Amino acid sequence: MAIVADTNGEVSPIKIVDIIEGIGIKIDIVIVEGFSKVLGKDKNIYKIIIVENEGDLRYYLNIVTPPILAIVSSKIKKAKYKVFDPKNIELLICEIRDKLKEENM
């Protein structure tokens, strides 16, 4: 199931998850974009940081706390966390799948 919505920041992603789970739907993965300031410090949420350059990466690493699952960038090749090229996103999908299996053991 996928829900794509532009909430203009009016609805918390956590509230959306609570509503969906409240109607009995089990959620394995929620991917939200643009909530780094709202959810970036939450230590219970894995983050994937998508950036264009080193400056963007430094910015997000200053406002987001671990766990950070991955960095996605076509220009950055090495970082403190695993880096995935957006042209080979299948590797990131495998990483997410492995993390889910690990969490469910």
* pLDDT over 90 at 86, yes or no: yes
Higher-confidence position of 55 and 2: 55
Euclidean distance between the first and the last CA atom of the chain, given in angstroms as a whole number:
23
Residue 65 is assigned to a structural domain of this protein: yes
Residue 22 lies in a domain: no
Domain membership of residue 70 (yes or no) is yes
The structure's pTM equals 0.74
Residue 45 DSSP one-character state? S
For 9-105, where are the alpha helices, taking DSSP H only? 13-22, 36-39, 54-63, 89-103
The answer to whether residue 7 is domain-embedded is no
What domain range is 62 assigned to?
A: 33-103
pLDDT of residue 28: 73
Q: Report if residue 90 sits inside a domain.
A: yes
Question: For 29-73, what is each residue's pLDDT tens digit?
Answer: 777 777 788 788 989 888 999 999 999 999 999 999 999 999 999
Bin 73: left if φ > 0, else alpha if -120 < ψ < 50, else beta: beta
User: Structural domain tally of the chain?
Assistant: 1
* Residue 5 resides in a domain: no
